[in-house]
Amino acid sequence: MSVLLEIPDQVAHAIRLPTDEQQQSIMTELAVALYARGILPFGKARELTRLKRIEFGLLLGRRNIPRRCTEENIKDDIAYARGQ
């Protein structure tokens, strides 16, 4: 399943970013917001941004968003360490 997010033209034109950067920036902002609210786990939020694990972790740090250490996070970290 994929979700299509429609942003009205008036809003899209008001975004102060070059057109070619808008989609990535919006996806990153969405991922960070959902992670910060506990709606999306780290691995899935990172996937949404298309950033590397370390890059997403650093982004959260710059925004003072603490990492949550859940069982799922630990499993994701172990899988990542194993190259999976």
The model's pLDDT over 8-64, given as tens digits with 9 standing for 90+, comes to 999 989 999 998 999 999 999 999 999 999 999 888 999 999 999 999 999 999 999
- According to the model, what pLDDT value does residue 77 have? 74
- According to the model, what pLDDT value does residue 76 have? 74
- From the list 32, 63, 37, the residue with the least C-alpha distance to 48 is 32
Q: Flag whether 54 is in a domain.
A: yes
The domain tally of the chain equals 1
Q: Flag whether 8 is in a domain.
A: no
Q: How many CB atoms lie within 10 A of CB 4?
A: 4
Taking a C-beta distance cutoff of 8 angstroms, is the pair 29, 5 a contact? no
Higher pLDDT, 25 or 78: 25
pLDDT at 73 over 80: no
Full-model pTM: 0.78
Range of the domain at 25: 16-81
Q: Flag whether 10 is in a domain.
A: no
